[in-house]
Amino acid sequence: MDVAWEMFLLKVFYGILALVAILTFAAYAVLAERKVSAWIQGRVGPNRTTLPIVGDIPILGPFLRSLGLFQPMADGLKFLFKEEMCPGQVNRFHYHLAPILALIPALSVLAVVPFGQYVASTGADPIPLVLADLDIGILLIFALSSLGVYGIVLAGWASNSKYPFLGGVRASAQMISFELAMGLSVLPVFLWVNEPGSIGGLNLARVVDWQDNGWGMIFVQPVSALVFLVALFAESNRLPFDMPESETDLVGGFHTEYGAFKFGLFFTAEYAHVIVGSAIFALLFLGGWHFLPGVEDPWPIGWSGAALSFLWFALKTFAMSFLFIWVRWTLPRFRYDQVMKLGWGKLLPLALGNLLLYAVLASWMG
Amino acid sequence: MAKTKVMERKPLSWAERTYLPQIITGLLTTFRNLFRPKVTLQYPDERPRIPNDYRGVPTLVKDPNEREKCVSCQLCEFVCPPKAIRITPGAISTEETDRTHVEKAPKEFEINMLRCIYCGYCEEVCPEEAIFLQDIYSLNGYTREQMQFNKEKLYELGGVLPDQHFKWDKKRAAAEKIGLGSSSDEETEEE
């Protein structure tokens, strides 16, 4: 086999690995959501599901059972084996296309998200662990993740039913409004990272490299971080901005007419969005895989160090995902016009002003 | 004048209008809740504490001598609002020699648990303290017939009530004192 083929197969292997990982994370994010919501509300959460052999291990089995660790498997199986319903009034082609369109962008974004670093020898430049080390990194992420709204709009429209339709309309309006603020909020970050005179790039690993003293970008640009975070919440349709879903006024929002595995796909897409969003926030503002502020990275040379850096980065990502869940079970939903006012009237000017401020600062300091 | 005090609604401060301080206090509240003890009762594993005067399934009880208390007066049957109780009165069997002076006993005593509303009137009205609402709150069956509790089942659920009245013992003692002790046998046979 020639080298090109080998490289290709390796990439495919890594790609599948990353997909499996993100899908597992998404499944366990669902569990985390249920558990955290339960704990916040003084409940216990899922603790009944168990597996035949693992569940029988004396102390460990009941412990895992009480944590509900087997619940995602049961949920996944349930979605798989449920009857595939298709309501009579829907546009069949688009109805089936929508969940696929919702999931694909959420997963493809993964390709340019770096998740660790590999240092070959002392003094060598760290190589970021990423599926595709592209220079357009963040641009690709924005391009792809904004495609996610198509899935939702299409779902609302193809369902041919009023509540999903309203959900779809709200989703499109909301996504467009917050996409703008989001894009503007990361511009200062890249402005700051790319020194004048050097060849710039939008690679995420570059932002992480800039934060290698451990001080996250959040300390340098708190306003960018805030705007980005709020926009991230809105983009991933999480409370307090879950307008497209808003169970209380739109039944189930855009996925009212969906059931079984198609609903499972929407569900996975939502949580994949949350995880990838958390990962991007961790990369941009929390220093990625770099250790605590002011502390030299303790990762050893070689693959063990790479694994440790990945774990540290994963920890930050999970902490951010926890924030997503935590906020959901704390805040009530905004009214629709409030969301729009917040997006256009507050966040957008704030992001613009922030961009201008850092542009002036950068040129003055540069 | 007016007893209500109209509160002045202050305009929101700048910080309040950003929502952020409120969001952070809210987050702290929910975070504290994460570690509070859980209020869930893990039902089939843990059972709720039933208060003493709980009105659960009505059952018949026996006296400390393990004898039937019910004298088949049918007051409970009459008072029962949903007509869940049906009593077939009968005589006391001659084998029970220590109870022969009691006139009647139920031949059959049925409570339809699907009709019962657990009001407790039967317990309240019973002059013999023979029917009691127990602490059983979970009752189920596969058929309607299974929910029709007969005398045997009612005694099985009710058991013995260790009261200290010994009403019939005292009555017999009183009857024997004035020399009527043995005559009660004939009375029951006449009926």
Say which of A42, A44, A331 has its CB closest to residue B33.
A42
Evaluate whether residue B175 is within a structural domain.
Answer: yes
**Amino acid B187: pLDDT:** 44
Say which of B30, B40, B42 has its CB closest to residue A326.
B30
Interchain contact A319–B (C-beta under 8 A): no
Q: Are A110 and A131 in contact (CB under 8 A)?
A: yes
Res. B81 pLDDT band, cuts 50 70 90: very high
pLDDT in tens, A43-87: 888 888 888 887 788 888 888 888 888 888 888 888 889 888 888
Q: Are A110 and A276 in contact (CB under 8 A)?
A: yes
Best mean pLDDT range from A128-137, A169-178, B74-83: B74-83
> Within 13 Å, how many C-alpha atoms sit on residue A125's CB side?
5
Pick the residue from chain B with its C-alpha nearest to A40. B34
Evaluate whether residue B166 is within a structural domain.
Answer: yes
Angle at A333 between CA A28 and CA A145, to 5 degrees: 55
Pick the residue from chain B with its C-alpha nearest to A350. B18
Q: What is the b/e burial string over B140-162, where b = at least 16 CB atoms within 10 angstroms of the residue's CB? A: eeeeeeebbbebebbbebbeebe
Res. A245 pLDDT band, cuts 50 70 90: confident
**Amino acid B124: pLDDT:** 92
Interchain contact A13–B (C-beta under 8 A): no
Q: What percent of chain A has pLDDT over 70?
A: 96
Q: Are B127 and B168 in contact (CB under 8 A)?
A: no
Q: Best of A35, A41, A346 to disrupt the B interface by mutation (most B CBs within 10 Å)?
A: A41
Q: At what angle do helices A92-108 and A137-145 cross, to 10 degrees?
A: 160
Evaluate whether residue B8 is within a structural domain.
Answer: no
Interchain contact A294–B (C-beta under 8 A): no
Q: Do A330 and B27 touch (CB under 8 A)?
A: yes
**Amino acid B191: pLDDT:** 36
> Smallest CA–CA separation between B31 and chain A, in Å?
7
Interchain contact B117–A (C-beta under 8 A): no
Residue-range domain boundaries for chain A:
87-365
> Smallest CA–CA separation between B12 and chain A, in Å?
16
Q: Do A43 and B42 touch (CB under 8 A)?
A: no
Q: Do A42 and B31 touch (CB under 8 A)?
A: no
| The pair of three-digit structure tokens given for residue A18, joined into one six-digit string | 């990353």
Give bridge partners of residue B108 from the DSSP assignment. Answer: B88
ipTM of model: 0.78
**Amino acid B162: pLDDT:** 81
Evaluate whether residue B35 is within a structural domain.
Answer: no
Average pLDDT of the residues in A328-354? 87
Interchain contact B52–A (C-beta under 8 A): no
pLDDT above 70 for B186: no
Interchain contact A332–B (C-beta under 8 A): no
* CATH classification at residue B153: 3.30.70.3270
Beta strands in B1-159 (DSSP E): 58-60, 85-91, 104-112, 131-133, 148-149
Q: Do B40 and A42 touch (CB under 8 A)?
A: yes
Q: Best of A33, A35, A36, A39 to disrupt the B interface by mutation (most B CBs within 10 Å)?
A: A39
Q: CA-to-CA distance for A254 and A166, rounded, in angstroms?
A: 8
Evaluate whether residue B33 is within a structural domain.
Answer: no
**Amino acid A197: pLDDT:** 64
Evaluate whether residue B178 is within a structural domain.
Answer: yes
pTM, two decimal places: 0.79
**Amino acid B121: pLDDT:** 92
Res. B184 pLDDT band, cuts 50 70 90: very low
Domain hosting residue B130, numbered range? 58-190
**Amino acid B78: pLDDT:** 92
Say which of B34, B39, B42 has its CB closest to residue A40.
B34
Q: Do A39 and B31 touch (CB under 8 A)?
A: no
> Measured between alpha carbons, how far is residue A23 from residues A20, A104, B143 in Å?
5, 12, 46
Outline where A90-221 has alpha helix (H): 92-108, 137-145, 148-158, 162-193, 204-210, 217-220
Long-range contacts of A27-32 (CB under 8 A, 24+ apart): A27/A72, A27/A73, A27/A75, A27/A76, A27/A268, A27/A271, A28/A72, A29/A271, A29/A274, A29/A275, A29/A321, A29/A325, A30/A72, A30/A75, A30/A267, A30/A271, A31/A68, A31/A69, A31/A71, A31/A72, A32/A321, A32/A322, A32/A325
Interchain contact B36–A (C-beta under 8 A): yes
Pick the residue from chain A with its C-alpha nearest to B22. A331
Outline where chain A has alpha helix (H): 3-40, 60-67, 71-81, 92-108, 137-145, 148-158, 162-193, 204-210, 217-220, 222-235, 247-250, 260-285, 303-328, 336-340, 348-365
**Amino acid A366: pLDDT:** 63
pLDDT above 60 for B89: yes
Q: What is the b/e burial string over A7-46, where b = at least 16 CB atoms within 10 angstroms of the residue's CB? A: eeeeeeeeeeebeeebbebbbbbbbbbbbbbbbbeeebbb
| The pair of three-digit structure tokens given for residue A262, joined into one six-digit string | 């198609």
Least confident of A57-66, A197-206, B167-176: A197-206
pLDDT above 60 for B183: no
Pick the residue from chain A with its C-alpha nearest to B26. A330
Q: Reduced to 3 states, what is the DSSP secondary structure of residue B72?
A: coil
Query: Considering only CB atoms, which chain A residues are within 8 Å of B23?
Result: 327, 330-331
Average pLDDT of the residues in B8-15? 86
pLDDT in tens, A86-96: 888 888 888 88
Say which of B23, B31, B38 has its CB closest to residue A43.
B38
**Amino acid B118: pLDDT:** 92
Res. B83 pLDDT band, cuts 50 70 90: very high
Burial of residue A6 (number of CB atoms within 10 Å: 0-12, 13-18, 19+):
exposed
In 3D space, the residue among A193, A184, A205, A195 whose CA is nearest the CA of residue A280 turns out to be A205
In 3D space, the residue among A253, A235, A258 whose CA is nearest the CA of residue A94 turns out to be A258
CB-defined contacts A:B, below 8 A: 34
Domains: count for chain B: 1
pLDDT above 60 for B188: no
Give bridge partners of residue A264 from the DSSP assignment. Answer: none
Mean residue pLDDT across chain B: 83
Query: Considering only CB atoms, which chain B residues are within 8 Å of A326?
Result: 27, 30-31
Evaluate whether residue B36 is within a structural domain.
Answer: no
Res. A155 pLDDT band, cuts 50 70 90: confident
**Amino acid B158: pLDDT:** 85
Interchain contact A40–B (C-beta under 8 A): yes
Evaluate whether residue B170 is within a structural domain.
Answer: yes
